[in-house]
Amino acid sequence: MFKNVFGSGFLVRTAHVILTWVITLILFLHDTELRQQEETGQLVQPVLFVLLVLGSVLLYFAVSLMDPGFILSEDRDLQFTLGVTEEQQDMIPPTTKSLRQRRCGHCLLQQPMRSKHCQTCQHCVRRYDHHCPWIENCVGERNHRWTGFSAAPSWQQWLRSDGVLLAVATLLALLSLVVLLLLGSHLYLVSLNTTTWEFMARHRISYLKHCGADENPFDRGTFHNLWGFYCVWGTVVWEQVYFREGSDQV
How much is the pLDDT for 81? Answer: 44
How much is the pLDDT for 7? Answer: 55
Which is more confidently placed, 196 or 86?
196
Which phi and psi angles does 56 have, rounded to 5°? Answer: -65, -35
Are 135 and 125 spatial neighbours (Cβ–Cβ below 8 Å)? Answer: no
- Averaged pLDDT, 80-102: 56
Q: pLDDT, tens digit, for every residue of 185-211?
A: 999 999 999 999 888 888 888 888 888
Which is more confidently placed, 167 or 209?
167
DSSP assignment of 159-205 equals: HHHHHHHHHHHHHHHHHHHHHHHHHHHHHHHHHHT--HHHHHSGGG-
Examine the pLDDT at 50 and tell me if it is beyond 90.
yes
CB within 8 A of 8, min separation 6: which ones?
A: 120, 121, 122, 136
Q: pLDDT, tens digit, for every residue of 210-224?
A: 888 788 888 888 999
Has 138 been annotated as catalytic?
A: no
Task: Determine which one of 104, 107, 132, 231 is catalytic.
Answer: 132
Q: How many CB atoms lie within 10 A of CB 120?
A: 13
Q: pLDDT, tens digit, for every residue of 104-137?
A: 888 888 888 889 999 988 899 999 999 998 888 9
DSSP 140: -
Q: How far apart are CA 193 and CA 139, in angstroms?
A: 44
Mean pLDDT of the chain: 82
Examine the pLDDT at 181 and tell me if it is beyond 80.
yes
The CA radius of gyration of the chain, in Å to the nearest whole number, is: 29
State how far the alpha carbon of 163 is from the alpha carbons of 82, 151, 152, 153, 176, in Å. Answer: 33, 12, 12, 15, 20
Examine the pLDDT at 183 and tell me if it is beyond 70.
yes
How much is the pLDDT for 160? Answer: 87
Q: How many CB atoms lie within 10 A of CB 7?
A: 13
How much is the pLDDT for 78? Answer: 46
State how far the alpha carbon of 95 is from the alpha carbons of 79, 99, 242, in Å. Answer: 19, 10, 76
Q: What angle do CA 216, 222, 228 make, to 5 degrees?
A: 90
Q: How far apart are CA 55 and CA 194, in angstroms?
A: 38
Q: Count of alpha carbons within 13 Å of 20, Cβ hemisphere only?
A: 18
Phi-psi region of 76 (alpha: psi -120 to 50; beta: other; left: phi over 0): left
